[in-house]
Chain A
Amino acid sequence: MKRYSAFAIAREAARYHTGWERAWRAPEPQKKYDVIIIGAGGHGLATAYHLGKNHGIKNVAIIEKGWLGGGNTGRNTTIIRSNYLQDPSAAIYEKSRSLYETMSQDLNYNVMFSPRGVMMLAQTQHEIRGYQRTAHANALQGVQTEFIGPQKVKELCPIISIDGPRYPVLGALWQARGGTARHDAVAWGYARACSDMGMDILQRTEVTAIRRDGGKVVGVTTTKGDIDCDKLGIVVAGHSGHLADMAGFRLPIESVPLQALVSEPIKPCMDVVIMANTVHGYMSQSDKGEMVIGGGTDGHNNYTQRGSFHHVEETVRALIETFPMLSRLKMLRQWGGIVDVTGDRSPILSKTPVDGIFINCGWGTGGFKAIPGSGWAMADLMANGRSPLTDAFGLERFREGRFIDESVAAGVAH
C-alpha cells in the first residue's frame, strides 16, 4: 500500500495522477478463512481491522451483500460523543471517541474528525436533572462533560433561540471533545487498511445460509459459493434478526427505520453539534454547508430504508421553534437506515448459542460514534473469548435482568 501524504500528492501532480493505486483489492473468495465477518459496514470493518492489528489474525474475509459502507455507515448524521449514563456504556463509547482522535493517523486516511463539541439541550426541568446526573456520572467515569447554562449555550451557538414559547433552552450537557467525522471515509479507511493486511473484502456477496455441524459453525453459503471458517462474526445492524434466524437462534431486537435529512448548503452558521431530545431532533452543519438533521424512528418494524413522512414533519416543526432561521431553508434530501433496537437501548456484543458465532448488534440509533471502540472490543471478544469492554453487553443479560438501561438516560436521539 502506498502511503497517502503531502509528498504523494506533489509527486502525482507532477505525473498527471497516473500513479494512484486502488484503495482496496476486489478478490475472489478462498475456500476457507480463520475468521469470517458478515457485514462490511463500519463495525464489521473495524472488527476485522482490530483482529489483524491487535491480535495478529489476518486470514479474514469480510462479506458484504451490497457495497461497503452502504448501510447505516453511509446513512447516519456522523455524531460522535460518549456522554452516557451507565458505566459499561461510557467505557466503550469513550474508548471509541478516543480512537477517533487518532484514527486519521492510524489508518493513514483522512476521516476528517472534527471535535467541534456536542451539546444536548435541556428543555424541561426533568432534562436538567437528568443531564446534571449524567455530568456527575461522567466525572466519575473520566469522561469530560459539563452542564452549562442557557447563556453559555447562546454564546456557543448564536443562531439558537433560547426563550422559545414551548421549549425554552434551560441549559445543556456539553462535551467539548465530541463532534463529527466523515462517515464514508471511516469505512473506506478501514477497508484500505484491512485489504493492506491481506484480508479479503467480498462485496456484492450475500450470505444465504450459515452452516453448522453439531452446534458449531463450519462456514457460510453465499451467492459466490460455500466458504468455510473457524469463527464467524455477525455484524449486520438492522439485518441481525434475519442472520440470527439463519444461524438458528433468536435476538431481543426489532428493526425500524431511522430518518435523516439535509438542507441546501448555506454559509457557516453553527460550529457545534446540537441535540434536542425533548423535541426529537439533532443538527450539525457539514463542511459543504448543509444543515444535517436527524429525526425519529418509526414505531413499527420495517426494512424500507425510508421511514414515515410524519416523523420528518415533527422533527422539522420542532427544530424551527429552537432555530427560527431554519424556516427559510429548503430541504434537499431525506433518507432512512434500518436500526436494530434492543429493549434497553444498549448494544449486544456477545457469544451466541452456536459455538464459534459471535454477534455485534443492537447499536440502534447510535452506532456511528461507536465504530472504532466496537471493533476494538469485538476483535478482543472473538480472539480471546471475552473482553472487559463487552462483558456487560452479553446476550444473557436480558434473561438475568442486568440491563444497561440507556433508554431513559439517552432519550430517543443518540
Chain B
Amino acid sequence: MLILHCPYCGVDAEETELHAGGQAHLTRETVGSDDEAFEDYLFMRENPKGVHFERWRHASGCGKWFHAARCTTTLEVFGTYSAQTTAPPREICDAISGKRPGWSWKTFSARMFS
C-alpha cells in the first residue's frame, strides 16, 4: 500500500487515509485567459511514465493538501512537500536526480508547461 508522509502533521499516512488530487503545479487560469489556456488547465494532463508530481489531501487526518513526487512505474516515493509553492523544493529535485540520473526539473517543467 502506498504510504506518504504528510509534511503538515508529520504522520506517515496510508493510501486509504489520503485522497488523490491529480497533477500538481498547474497554472490556474482565470478571467482574460484564452480557450487554449483553459483547455490546458482543465483537461490536458502530463500523465508521465516515470517521475510525476501530484496533489494529495490528508483526508482522514489533518485535512491539508500537500504535494508528492512519485514514480508512476515503480511506485517509488521521492518525497512530499508543502503545497504553498509553485515548484518542488531543491531537496526533492536532488532526490529525484540522484535516483533518475539525467532528470531535471528544468527540462521536465519546460515540457510540462510548454
Interface contact B42-A308, CB-CB below 8 Å:
no
How near does chain A come to B3, taking the closest CB pair, in angstroms?
A: 12
Beta-carbon contacts under 8 Å, B37-71 to A: 38-40, 42-49, 52, 54, 56, 70
A302 to B42, CA, bound (A): 20
A398-B44 Cα distance, complex, nearest whole Å: 9
Contact bitstring B75-114, A, C-beta under 8 A = 1, else 0: 1000000000000000000000000000000000000000
In the docked arrangement, what's the CA distance between A399 and B36, Å? Answer: 7
8 Å CB contacts to A: which residues of B1-31? Answer: 1-2, 15-16, 19-20, 22-23
A308 / chain B contacts, CB cutoff of 8 Å: 1-2, 15
Q: Is the CB of B16 within 8 A of A398?
A: no
Contact of A299 among B20, B36, B72 (CB under 8 A): B20
Q: Tell me whether A254 and B35 are in contact (CB under 8 A).
A: no
- Indicate if B33 sits at the interface (CB-CB under 8 A): no
Residue from A301, A302, A399 having most chain B Cβ neighbours under 10 A: A301
With both beta carbons as reference points, the residue of chain A lying nearest to B35 in the complex is identified as A399
A301 to B2, CA, bound (A): 12
1/0 contact trace for A231-266 toward B, CB 8 Å?
000000001011001000011111100000000000
**Across the interface, do A304 and B1 meet the contact criterion of CB distance under 8 Å?**
no
Which of A242, A250, A309 lies at the interface centre, i.e. has the most chain B CB atoms within 10 A of its CB? Answer: A250
A304 to B1, CA, bound (A): 13
Interface pair B44/A299, CB less than 8 Å apart: no
A310 is an interface residue with CB less than 8 A from chain B: yes
- Cβ distance B73 to chain A, nearest Cβ, rounded Å: 5
- Known contacts A308-B1, A308-B15, A309-B1; A303 and B73 CB within 8 A of each other: yes
Which residues does chain B contribute within 8 Å of A301, judged by CB atoms? Answer: 47, 52, 54, 72
Known: A254-B22, A302-B75, A308-B1. A398 touches B47 (CB 8 A): no
B31 to chain A, nearest CB (A): 17
Are B39 and A254 in touch, CB under 8 angstroms?
A: no
